[in-house]
A = this chain, B = another copy of it.
């Protein structure tokens, strides 16, 4: 029976966390999520690519797939979920019937190539499983995977010869010259291997693969479609595409024919490796059999376990958003090593992980804020230690001797700013994570924070800020470096490195040089100390002093020292006034339209991008937590919805999702490294977290309704909780946090100053 004649398949009961995930949330609009099959933190993310060949479509197609598209190019094995820049889409396979078409053709001209139309009616996605009917080829496709191996099952129409296209030219964010080199090798009737090397987001990235078929190849052809080149080399054996077993070049495409296959089914395993073809072949052993249902069940089971740390009682749409958010939090950092522990590091050399599992895809500018704190609460310590050991191993292998900035597949991309591996490591350490060499980590962190050729650090260290006439985006860099420095200081202090701590506590104050008391903004300064003129607080992006943002969005970024912010704005009232201003400004969205990442606007507040993520929580620092509560009631429903367009901005490998999860639980880690979460207000009736230490922490909202926007009273384990923050140790002890929701604000709660969230001073010395 055709798979789509069956009712929608769910691996678990309808009320299970697994069933609550909608893998299509964020696959349209600005989410840039990918709906393909993957394991938690899996190396393979196997799913459909719909992007057109033309590279100028890069931003919207950063994940390779857009829900709005109506045709599929094929199924590739690596994807980002939620990034603002594209790459990957490795090893594109496309089943087909009829004549062989080597080019994908055009979406607007059906049947013009191997691309096929599809309909969401005949498309299914679940964690670890994806299925679609290719309408033009009449092939039903099912996909599942282990960590390193993708498994395809194609259902051809009876009587059709099973055919398959492999396009090594295809890539997410493709453009002429991206593929530096590639190889393809038909090893025998069931095994094809190869590699390709690309200059994409990660330059000189090598990706090896091994493809195993459930049925023997009956015929194949391999082509190099490269345009005229000066020298092609002497001709290898098998001149004709039909006779070739091996080919290399810059534009390889192959077609395979399997004839009539038993039960009209062809299954294909694809293992990837960054090391070698031999490594990819060895990775195939991760999936020894050909039992698709068993593999699918195993993938589902991995997700059931990973999702099962959460229990959520909420409105159905919120519940779906939250489980999907948690699902999105478990995409990256992803495993990136062979079964024998070998991986390719930032020096593009092969290393072996000893005592840990190497992970890559660190979107650190995004994920240090809430994703890593969320993973510390929901993932085993060993997994979190793997992340940190991967960062440290990367620093060891880095040609620059520094921790990753934005790394994937082991390779540094230099995307975004900051050295945000520091807050990731420090936050984990301060929260008690062990399993890595903390003194060595501190050294690696210091090396990163003092590497002068990087992002204006030379000026930062000399002048105490980054001047606009020496380095672009100097305000954003100064602010973020200062925060990163503070996390280093915190960890150094905790390790007894008091001198180092003192030095970095001092650097953590460098942001003050750019606080402009006259405008209240954080503002660019030249190397001779003059404010940048003219000043437009809405100026954003290239040429401004701000990274994917404006002064409106960036002037809040000293989460470790909100006291300075408050002082600069003339006290609590000034802070609150300015916060109201950002949300209530009649900002013309067009002024940000040149910045693709600035989305999800409420006034100047841009929830779709990370610099805004902590802003709503800052009211509490000024003694007005009820305003945080009201803003969250405004933000959450407007920025998170179910459905493909449900995310207001790029999910950024889980950061947008982690924000929602924390916020729905009623608190948010404004300053990772502080061991505090700032209280917001819950969006769930009841939710609990099974913590990695085995304890359960539950949040309950009494009287939750659309009208009851505000917190009345809060109790922790039955005791009144008057602080507008929650300490990490209280959370980790397990217990119950009860919010009483009311329609009117409790203006007393979270007052006076002593119960507000931290600012710099209390942390100069650790408790």
Contact = CB atoms under 8 A, between A and B. Distances in A.
A254 to B, nearest CB: 14
A350 B187 CA distance: 17
Interface in A182-211: 183, 185, 187, 197, 199-204
A237 B455 contact: yes
Contacts of A348: 183
A415 B181 contact: no
B276 A349 contact: yes
A399 B406 CA distance: 36
A231 B276 contact: no
A201 B231 CA distance: 9
Contacts of A231: 55, 173, 175, 178, 199-200
B246 A400 contact: yes
Nearest to A240: B453
B414 A236 contact: yes
Q: How many copies does the complex hold?
A: 2
Nearest to A179: B180
Contacts of A230: 55, 175-178
Q: Choose among A55, A197, A231, A276 the residue with the greatest number of B CB atoms under 10 Å from its CB.
A: A231
A531 interface: no
A181 B204 contact: yes
B414 A233 contact: yes
Contact of A451 (B199, B237, B349, B455): B237
Interface residues on A, range: 35 or more
A347 interface: yes
Interface in A408-427: 412-415
A243 interface: yes
B400 A237 contact: yes
A229 interface: yes
Contact of A180 (B180, B278, B399, B400): B180
Contact of A199 (B177, B181, B234): B181
A200 B234 CA distance: 10
Nearest to A454: B237
Interface string A328-352: 0000000000000000000111100
A548 interface: no
Contact of A234 (B181, B245, B415): B415
A147 interface: no
A276 B453 CA distance: 26
A248 B400 contact: no
A453 B237 CA distance: 5
Contacts of A412: 236
B233 A399 contact: no
Interface in A253-292: 276-278
A238 interface: yes
A298 to B, nearest CB: 30
Contacts of A55: 230-231
B246 A399 contact: yes
A173 B183 CA distance: 23
Interface in A24-58: 55
A530 interface: no
B245 A453 contact: yes
A620 to B, nearest CB: 36
Nearest to A349: B276
20 contacts: A180-B181, A181-B181, A181-B204, A185-B347, A187-B399, A199-B233, A203-B248, A203-B249, A233-B414, A236-B412, A237-B414, A237-B454, A237-B455, A238-B453, A243-B453, A245-B399, A245-B453, A246-B399, A246-B400, A277-B349
Which 7 interchain pairs have the tightest Cβ spacing?
Answer: A238-B453, A234-B414, A237-B453, A237-B454, A175-B230, A246-B399, A185-B399
Given A202-B233, A245-B453, 7 more contacts: A173-B231, A175-B230, A180-B197, A183-B348, A185-B399, A234-B414, A244-B453
